[in-house]
Structure 1
Amino acid sequence: MVDAAATRPLRLAVLRPTWPADARMPGDDRPGAVHLAALDGDEVVGAGLVLAAPYPERPAVEAAWQLRGMATAPSRRSQGIGGLVLDAAVALVADRGGRLLWCGARLPAVAFYERHGFTTEGDEYVQPETGLPHVHMWRGPATTVGGSGKVSG
């Protein structure tokens, strides 16, 4: 497991560029939040976090986990790094008995999540923290869909 502080600079730069450099990302300090990082040497080139949280579209489903703060360094996109982080999240949720992994996906990221076994559900909504349109997406965490590699988590 990596500390939230290790991934925060990348996540802020990619996902919240107008926020102060010392801002806390939503979910960072939640009990049980697990931060994941793809590293190139000491450099964090991909990041995300998972935490146990009810899925808004199916609140009765037990053992639901939320994926938040997925970010890949802009210079490293389209190299499979996001898939590695996502596969690590899927595996972690499965290892912890999770039955459903969900996220609020920005519209440009929908195709990425679909390639990794996620399904869109519900209506498009504006995410209050960013003001950007998102959709809910989910998948069962039983197996990974992407490649292989090392991610710290």
Structure 2
Amino acid sequence: MQTLDHQEGIRVSDRMLELTTLPAPDVPATVRAMLDQRLHLWGLAALRHGDLAHDLRLCADELTANAMEAAPREMITFRASYAPNHRMITLSTWDASNDQPTVKQIVELEPEDIIPDAYALDPGRNNHQIGGWGLPLVVELSSAQGVEHTPPRGKWVWASFQL
């Protein structure tokens, strides 16, 4: 079974969920909600309330946010697929950028390293000290991850999770 809602850019099949959209502030929340619904439809309702579900939502958030940042004015795609025979869920995002994502090295901070900044989260503020931690989380929480470039441009960034 597969359906495509052309108006919303959502494709759903028995073992896959796909959302293609322009970047917007509400896209990560939409992805999380759709992923929760898909886990239920895949018969993984119990998973929705455990640590793995939290990890899946967090990584879906991070992958989506990275795709939106890499191609802020282009369509992006989020995909979740379930391979029941392998007991594996794979989350992936596509963006039009050819830039290779880089995993920022995690540095252990001491309390004296943290300097409060009342403006750190203001729109337009480019403070790299508060960002860039998403991919290390994805690497740590997933079973496998990678990048596949798509000629003539763009890439899929993916992470798989063993159930």
- Calculate the TM-score normalised by the size of structure 1: 0.29
Scaled by the length of structure 2, the TM-score of the pair is 0.27
Larger radius of gyration: 2
Whichever structure has more helix as a proportion of its residues is 2
Higher strand proportion: 1
